[in-house]
């Protein structure tokens, strides 16, 4: 058997559990898993003492015009594919260090064309915001939401905040005080929106995915709608809590929906442990220092997260709070299953050779100079972690190794089972 790459001696996190095995790769695809000590290849990676996860898929990646740097940050964080929530046209082209796709934004102008738009090449589905954000306009009323959900069939991604309640609560904004963001965007802003969209989805018969869920009450509602609803949680909501985050980071922790109190943070972890959470997604949104330093409420919402998402979770593995198998489900097999991603999300023969290789015992500190994202900052700079990404491999190409990006951008458009088109006849 001729192969291009062998990963030798690592502990593979697969559908068979965690087993020690060699992985053989040819033409960007996994062709065999087993003992290949007698087999040679052009490229060999010795993974003794390391664990090999299926390549991570980040399903909430807010792309900027500097996507090249941000996909480098993704690769450094062990991410091999990104689904872009785009405030710009992602398109298909060069410059991505990871494989990529995009969500088409639903607007009042394109609502009649959503069924057609969601089938475009490289489209992961439709993204719909129920409240206005820095990047997107809102579809806020129930009648129009129902119309949007009836126009198409793929799972639709929802930013669930209630615009009417936000409008009523603007009087609670305190200029220069970012902690008042939690009063403006209170729990009921999210709870009411989630309640409404779950009922509308059930009536429309349309599967929905609620992104960056921020409260335990929302998780309880979603648990009752698992026939049509999936949920994602972001690292910021799992690892930070109010009011301490606003006292320490000020404007830099302004997010939509906001970081909530410790009770909600613990509730999100319980939902994750209980299986209500389907996906861990970074909600990476690289806002510049200039955008974040504007006086509240004019400072931008969002923070970079793609580079530190996995280190934060590996640190929890070291503390015994979560298993490596659960991380693989939340960041690889779960995203592939929910969004019908073709040939990704598993370490199995026939799948893309996407791997995230980690050293679970490595103790290290994430420094300011390590930040790869265009914005140049990260809420977790200065944090000490146990567990580090050592290699990121995308379709058999070594993209990241021991702290350095290797080679040029080689990202390709992700394919989906539910947009498959027959091959052109020759």
Model pLDDT, residue 265: 98
228-285 residue pLDDT tens: 999 999 999 999 999 999 999 999 999 999 999 999 999 999 999 999 999 999 999 9
DSSP assignments along 151-205, one per residue: S--S-EEEE---HHHHHHGGGG--TT-GGGHHHHT-HHHHHHHHHHHHHHHHHHT
Model pLDDT, residue 91: 52
Task: Give yes or no: residues 262 and 211 share one domain.
Answer: yes
Task: Give yes or no: residues 187 and 268 share one domain.
Answer: yes
The tally of domains found in the chain comes to: 2
DSSP assignments along 32-69, one per residue: EEE--TT---SEEEE-TT-EEEEPEEEEEEEE-TTHHH
User: Is residue 376 assigned to a domain?
Assistant: yes
Task: Give yes or no: residues 173 and 267 share one domain.
Answer: yes
Model pLDDT, residue 95: 83
User: Is residue 329 assigned to a domain?
Assistant: yes
Residue 32 is part of a domain; what is its CATH number?
Answer: 2.30.40.10
Which token pair is 302?
């969002």
Cβ-Cβ contacts under 8 Å for 290 (sequence gap 6 or more): none
Residues of the chain with pLDDT below 70 are 64-66, 87-94, 423-426
Residue 83 is part of a domain; what is its CATH number?
Answer: 3.20.20.140
State how beta strands 404-405 and 397-401 pair.
Answer: antiparallel
How many angstroms separate the CA atoms of 147 and 206, rounded?
11
Strand order in the sheet with 229-233: 56-63, 79-86, 99-105, 123-129, 156-159, 208-210, 229-233, 279-280
Task: Give yes or no: residues 225 and 253 share one domain.
Answer: yes
Smallest CA-to-CA distance from 229 within 132, 149, 148, 151 is with 149
Evaluate whether 337 touches 169 at the Cβ level (below 8 Å): no
Peptide bond into 390 cis (omega under 30): no
Model pLDDT, residue 98: 96
Neighbours of 220 (CB within 10 A): 13
Model pLDDT, residue 344: 98
Which token pair is 288?
């510049």
Half-sphere exposure of 353 (CA within 13 A, CB side): 24
Model pLDDT, residue 421: 76
Smallest CA-to-CA distance from 75 within 100, 40, 44 is with 100
Domain termination site, one of 310, 338, 366: 338
User: Is residue 111 assigned to a domain?
Assistant: yes
Domain span at residue 381 reads 5-52+348-405
Model pLDDT, residue 66: 65
How many angstroms separate the CA atoms of 111 and 53, rounded?
39
List % helix, strand, coil for the chain (3-state, nearest 5).
30, 25, 40
Task: Give yes or no: residues 130 and 229 share one domain.
Answer: yes
**CA distance readout (Å), 414 to 341, 395, 400:** 7, 11, 20
Peptide bond into 297 cis (omega under 30): yes
């Amino acid at each position: 058997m001729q192969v291009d790459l062998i990963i030798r001696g690592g502990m593979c996190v697969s559908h068979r559990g965690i087993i020690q095995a060699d992985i053989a790769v040819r033409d960007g695809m996994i062709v065999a898993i087993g003992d290949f000590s007698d087999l040679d290849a052009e490229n060999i990676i010795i993974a003794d003492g390391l664990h090999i996860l299926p390549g991570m898929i980040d399903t909430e990646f807010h792309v900027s015009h500097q996507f090249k740097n941000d996909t480098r940050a993704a690769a450094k964080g062990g991410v091999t594919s990104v689904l872009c929530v785009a405030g710009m046209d992602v398109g298909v082209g060069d410059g991505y260090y990871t494989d990529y796709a995009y969500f088409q934004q639903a607007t009042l102008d394109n609502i009649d064309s959503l069924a057609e738009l969601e089938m475009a090449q490289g489209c992961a589905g439709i993204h719909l915001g129920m409240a206005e954000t820095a990047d997107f306009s809102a579809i806020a009323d129930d009648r129009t939401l129902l119309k949007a959900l009836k126009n198409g069939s793929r799972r639709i991604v929802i930013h669930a905040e209630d615009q009417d309640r936000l409008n009523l609560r603007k009087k609670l904004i305190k200029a220069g005080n970012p902690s008042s963001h939690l009063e403006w965007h209170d729990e009921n802003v999210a709870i009411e929106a989630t309640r409404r969209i779950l009922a509308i989805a059930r009536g429309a018969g349309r599967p929905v995915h609620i992104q960056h869920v921020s409260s335990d009450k929302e998780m309880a509602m979603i648990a009752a709608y698992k026939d049509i609803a999936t949920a994602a949680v972001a690292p910021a909501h799992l690892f930070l809590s109010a009011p301490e985050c606003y006292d320490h980071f000020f404007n830099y922790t302004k997010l939509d929906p906001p970081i909530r109190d410790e009770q909600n943070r613990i509730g999100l972890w319980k939902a994750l442990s209980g299986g209500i959470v389907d996906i861990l997604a970074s909600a990476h949104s690289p806002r510049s220092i200039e955008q974040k330093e504007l006086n509240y409420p004019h400072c931008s919402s969002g923070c970079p997260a793609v580079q530190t998402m996995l280190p934060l979770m590996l640190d929890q593995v070291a503390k015994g709070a979560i298993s490596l198998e659960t991380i693989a489900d939340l960041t690889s097999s779960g995203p592939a299953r929910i969004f019908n991603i073709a040939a990704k999300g598993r370490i199995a023969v026939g799948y893309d050779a996407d791997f995230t290789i980690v050293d679970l015992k490595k103790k290290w500190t994430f420094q300011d100079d390590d930040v790869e994202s265009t914005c140049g900052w990260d809420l977790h700079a200065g944090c000490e972690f146990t567990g580090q990404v050592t290699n990121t491999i995308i379709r058999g190409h070594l993209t990241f190794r021991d702290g350095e990006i290797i080679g040029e951008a080689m990202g390709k458009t992700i394919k989906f089972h539910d947009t498959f088109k027959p091959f052109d006849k020759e």
